[in-house]
Amino acid sequence: MVEALTPASLADIAGFEREWAALVECVSQAHDVGRLQKLFPVLDWSRLLLLAEEHGVVGQLSACLNQCGGLGVPREFQQAILERQRAQNLLTLCLTAELFRILELFAAKDISVLVIKGPVLAVQAYGDPAMRSYGDLDLLVRQCDIRRATESLIASGYRGAVPLEAIDAGKIPGQYLFSRTDSNLLVELHNNLTLRYFPRPLPLEDFFQRQIRVRLDAHEVPAPSLEDELVLICIHGAKHFWERLSWIADVAGLVSRQARINWERAIACAKTVEAEHLLYTGLGLAAKVLGTTLPEPISARVRHDTIAENLATRALRWLPAAGHLPPGLLQRAAFRMCMRGGVFAGASYLLRLSFSPTEEDWQAGDKVSNNRFLDVLRRPFRLAQKYRRPRD
């Protein structure tokens, strides 16, 4: 039933126009059943399923179809999406159980941790830990605890992608990644040093002070405040050029479901890291793409932020292709500069990102470079090679 999804198959985005319209309608909080009834008879269902998978919104699509009573959806498609949702449910159960185990492990070592995205965001944004598609666990951990956290995870059966030698040498990766040889479980540790795409350093201690407890199954897990989580996922979406509908749906779900969001506090949190434009971009995309209703004072701020409008307009150009037609090198650079606002601030931000080495720059296999100067110089050349396209 499902054709192979390749960049070539998504190059003609116009060929997916009806499926994209149907997917967006299904993911929106308020489904227009009448519009879906008009779209469904003319859909290529295999393309719709491919789009849903690539955009990470199979759960939302499945929930919409259940709410709408099928609307004449082909039985073959219903079975296919049911199988995928079952697989996500199983993965969610495994990840949630592993999360509880890791939290107990870190608590025994007196390692403070906050759970970001993953099952916690799924509960906050959708009310169901299996509704959101994710394949790893993301945790915030202080840099001073990274070595002990690494040792603990390795002792419990994980393999660390960043060796202790690199940690001792002060090398900072994009994230501290851990995997298990006996399963597909992945764990990523983050902190204010690894989250480079924050325009200003993440105030990690403030995140810990403002933390809340989120009920997940029979447990309560530590998580950032709603306002901090909202700013974080908006910056995360911008980091990835908003190439997935799921990231916009997360913003929409959190805003729509959590009436307790303190908007002035959210704006203050964004200002602390100079990410107001990124917050308003995420909110603007949620309103524009998924019809999310924002409080009028916030909606007015979003409408009047020309930089956020510019970023959203750029993102909408490549959004339907789900990352298979990514922005080229020059488009990426322009987007990064726009993320920071003015010309000088944007140029400074772009330079910082271009010359801040990660493990791809200082690690080759098990060997870790001990020359920081070469690590810095190597990064822009690697990025140019990785993202350059003929048209650039």
Residues 205-251 have pLDDT tens digits of 999 999 999 999 889 999 999 999 999 999 999 999 999 999 999 99
Tell me the residue range of the domain where 174 lies: 88-224
The answer to the question of residue 263 being in a domain is no
Average pLDDT for the chain: 91
The answer to the question of residue 119 being in a domain is yes
| End residue of a domain, out of 170, 191, 224 | 224
The answer to the question of residue 297 being in a domain is no
Question: Would you state the pLDDT for residue 280?
Answer: 98
Six token digits for residue 189: 């540790």
Are residues 62 and 95 both part of a single domain? no
Question: What pairing do the DSSP bridges indicate for beta strands 186-190 and 137-140?
Answer: parallel
Task: Please name every residue paired with 188 in a beta bridge, in sequence order, or none if there are none.
Answer: 138, 177
Q: Which DSSP symbol is given to 319? A: G
Residues 6+ apart with CB under 8 A from 353: 196, 197, 336
| 285 — pLDDT class (breaks 50, 70, 90) | very high
Six token digits for residue 188: 């990523």
Average pLDDT over residues 159-177: 95
Question: Would you state the pLDDT for residue 184?
Answer: 81
Are residues 38 and 101 both part of a single domain? no
The answer to the question of residue 213 being in a domain is yes
Are residues 15 and 140 both part of a single domain? no
Average pLDDT over residues 112-133: 94
Residue 88 has pLDDT above 50, yes or no: yes
- Residues of the chain with pLDDT > 70, as a percent, come to 95
Question: Would you state the pLDDT for residue 172?
Answer: 95
Task: Please name every residue paired with 367 in a beta bridge, in sequence order, or none if there are none.
Answer: 364
The answer to the question of residue 302 being in a domain is no
Question: Would you state the pLDDT for residue 384?
Answer: 87
The answer to the question of residue 168 being in a domain is yes
- Tens of pLDDT, residue by residue over 325-338, are 889 889 999 999 99
Question: Would you state the pLDDT for residue 248?
Answer: 98
* Contact assessment for residue 276 and residue 306, using Cβ atoms and an 8 Å cutoff: no
With CA atoms as reference, report the closest residue to 261 among 279, 277, 247, 243.
279
The answer to the question of residue 174 being in a domain is yes
Are residues 106 and 200 both part of a single domain? yes
Number of domains comprising the chain: 2
| 5 — pLDDT class (breaks 50, 70, 90) | very low
Three-point CA angle 273, 275, 277, nearest 5°:
160
> In whole angstroms, what is the distance from residue 106 CA to residue 221 CA?
12
Are residues 20 and 57 both part of a single domain? yes
Are residues 55 and 119 both part of a single domain? no
Are residues 92 and 28 both part of a single domain? no
- Residues of the chain with pLDDT > 90, as a percent, come to 71
| End residue of a domain, out of 173, 194, 224 | 224
CATH number of the domain that residue 120 is part of: 3.30.460.40
The answer to the question of residue 183 being in a domain is yes
Average pLDDT over residues 110-115: 98
Question: Would you state the pLDDT for residue 3?
Answer: 47
- Tens of pLDDT, residue by residue over 248-275, are 999 999 999 999 999 999 999 999 999 9
| 323 — pLDDT class (breaks 50, 70, 90) | confident
Are residues 173 and 203 both part of a single domain? yes
Dihedral of alpha carbons 232, 235, 239, 243, sign = positive
| 137 — pLDDT class (breaks 50, 70, 90) | very high
Q: Please name the helix (run of DSSP H) or strand (run of DSSP E) that holds residue 5, with its range, or none.
A: none
* Contact assessment for residue 187 and residue 158, using Cβ atoms and an 8 Å cutoff: yes
Question: Would you state the pLDDT for residue 389?
Answer: 59
